[in-house]
Amino acid sequence: MEDDKIRCEELVRRLNEASEAYYNGREEIMSNYEWDALFDELLALEAKSGYILPDSPTRNTGYEENNGEREAHEFPALSLAKTKLVSELIKWAEDKEVWLSWKLDGLTLVLTYDGGKLTRILTRGNGVTGTNITYLKNAIKGFPLKIKYQGHMVVRGEATISYTDFALINDTIEDDDEKYANPRNLASGTLSLDDAEKVKERRVCFHAFTLVYLDDDVVSWGERMDFLAKEGFTVIDREKTDAEGISDAVERWTKKVESGEMDLPVDGLVICYDDTEYAASGSVTGHHAAKAGYAFKWQDVSALSELLYVEWSCAASTISPVAVFEPVQLEGTTVSRASLCNISEMERLGIGEKCTLEVIKANKIIPKCIAVKEAAGAFTVPLTCPVCGAQTEIRTSQKSKTKTLHCTNPDCSAKHVKKFTRFVSKSGMDIDGLSIQTMLKFMNEGFLKEFQDIYHLSEHAEEIRQMEGFGEKSCENMMKAIEKSRQANPVNFIYALCIPMMGIDAGKKIIADGGFEGFLERLEQKKGFEDIDGIGPEKSGSALLWYENDKNRLSLQALLQEVTIEKTDRKPDAQGKCAGLTFVITGEVSHYKNRDEFKAYVEASGGKVTGSVTSKTNYLVNNDAASASSKNRKAKELGIPIITEEEFLSRFG
């Protein structure tokens, strides 16, 4: 009995420490898999011994955040009871109609509306009190600031960051102490920031999952969710079913996750009663309300495999280890790779030169190594960077004491992946298919070191087709996009060069003044650009300093061997067909390569392009003239003609 008490105390301490890190957006100290296993062990021990500590996570919900003003919830935000057995869901459903929806893995927020306006946003916190983050109301997508309903209303939902956005954001964070373990960790850390603009950049999206309170008498949960959707909320996906249909529904929804079509992080499913009055009639503990809903978490299926080798992959300033092992079947797919995160995690797991790995797919998506068996020998840390060959060094984080590997070369191309991202962007060379992750893969394979190497990727086409995530079609599309970009607009080309302080507007002014030849001549002869209206000495000096660098100059010369710069008129034509007219261009375009090229034509023809429709707008160009978009509505209100691209070309082309 005494041993059970000691173990309970240890489990409560470890679980609460992990929850504190988890809920405050810091580096996670244990995986969900480990947390669930320890939580289940604690539940069993408490039932056996009757020894339950006041701060046990089985009796408490959430965890208090460390930042911000604390406020009481109007309605407690309790946890749901959880199960890994479909049979338990069927039993819980009884003879009632129920709804199945996702259990999103983000940060729960509670929104309050009064008189048709959003008045408060609270984080879930410990379920009784939360942090007021109303100041972020313009930075989070997925809910309206104003609604038609004028009564008192409380909505609960999950703020998430997609896997795509998570990967993009993490790849551009150079400081390892600032990187995030997963999208949930990133969402939590993001919503603790004071800078609303920074939060907006991270594309946090709110998904309403329940209407907690409404002055009006709407009993059906399904009708409540439909009501929220009509008011402009992003509402969680849902399906109506019953005890007989739950098993099939769970199987269908699980396959959506296993197939990889879900970009939002989910860690299970939820069922709730359609009859909200019945749902509110259940008993309530400090942890959950018995009838409020039932969460289903997938059983983690593990497999054993022999480690073949550790691959070290460079991204930004960090070189991260990836376990490559004998392929195994997990959750319906073949898995042969899993991130090992960093040197500290390798040491914690006990990775050896040879060993057997136990692997799962966390939340049925991300391969993860959870244990090591029969390890022999010690793993080796590479002495040179896999991208540039420079010396590496191990650094220990001051905050988390985590050991990570780094390249010491400040010019390593993997450290400058942001520049490659700008080069291939729509405002640059407009090359589809080259995401940050793809370019980092190519850098680690040795395919990419300089911008000009992009135009030689066809030499590695066969190898690329064999890489994970690629195939014949995607490789072919990428190669076509690269070839198409060989015809370059001079303004976009200047932007793509990543000259500090030289954006699209500066490029337009330079090209309008002397064309691309004039741009090269000014660099070669060190004339600068400060005599051009709107450039000034600071931007001019920045461009000259950039060109003095041998690496930049040679890169420009090499690129000019790969691309053809399109000829353009030097100055806007004051007598051109668009002279004196202001246009707004919206939606997809087909005759021009993109909207930037369309805009360049209008400006070269003496016209002006703005981003919003006002009384000064002469024409709105939209190929979907019947669209109910805000720009179309505004144009109709002001009596401004809406024309298609075809009509534009017939009048002004």
Distance CA 209, CA 255 (A): 21
Alpha-carbon 574 to chain mean position: 45
pLDDT at 285 over 60: no
Residues in CB range of 244: below 8 A, 6 or more apart: none
Confidence of residue 405 (pLDDT cuts 50, 70, 90): very high
Confidence of residue 435 (pLDDT cuts 50, 70, 90): confident
Q: Tens digit of pLDDT for each residue in 244-270?
A: 999 999 999 988 887 777 889 998 999
Residue 161's pLDDT is what? 93
Q: Give whole-number Cα distances, 119 to 73, 172, 187, 433, in Å.
A: 13, 34, 22, 42
Number of H helices, E strands in the chain: 21, 24
Q: Tens digit of pLDDT for each residue in 326-344?
A: 999 887 778 888 989 889 9
Distance CA 540, CA 527 (A): 9
pTM of the predicted model as reported, rounded to 2 decimal places: 0.57
Nearest one of 269, 214, 259, 213 to 237, comparing CA atoms: 269
287 with 114: CB under 8 angstroms? no
Q: Give whole-number Cα distances, 481 to 136, 429, 443, 603, in Å.
A: 38, 9, 19, 26
Q: Strand, coil or helix: what is 644?
A: coil
Nearest one of 253, 246, 362, 255 to 299, comparing CA atoms: 362
Distance CA 2, CA 449 (A): 62
Phi, psi of 276 (to 5 degrees): -70, -25
Segment 107-121 shows an average pLDDT of 95
* Token pair listed for 569: 């008129």
DSSP state of 593: S
Residue 367's pLDDT is what? 86
Distance CA 158, CA 459 (A): 46
Averaged confidence pLDDT in the chain: 86
Q: Give whole-number Cα distances, 226 to 206, 221, 453, in Å.
A: 16, 9, 52
Burial of 65 per CB tally in 10 Å (0-12, 13-18, 19+): buried
Reported as type and span, the H/E element at residue 255 is: helix 246-258
Residue 28's pLDDT is what? 59
Distance CA 626, CA 617 (A): 19
620 with 635: CB under 8 angstroms? yes
Residue at token pair 């008189």 = 115
314 with 339: CB under 8 angstroms? no
Share of the chain above pLDDT 90, in %: 40
Distance CA 122, CA 16 (A): 22
Residue 223's pLDDT is what? 96
Distance CA 11, CA 39 (A): 8
Segment 522-539 shows an average pLDDT of 85
Segment 569-591 shows an average pLDDT of 79
pLDDT at 356 over 90: yes
Residues in CB range of 285: below 8 A, 6 or more apart: 59
Q: Tens digit of pLDDT for each residue in 617-651?
A: 999 999 887 777 788 888 888 999 999 998 999 89
Share of the chain above pLDDT 70, in %: 91
Residue 528's pLDDT is what? 87
103, 291, 368, 539: the active-site residue: 103
**Can 418 be counted among the known catalytic residues?**
no
Name the residue type at position 32: N
Distance CA 167, CA 186 (A): 10
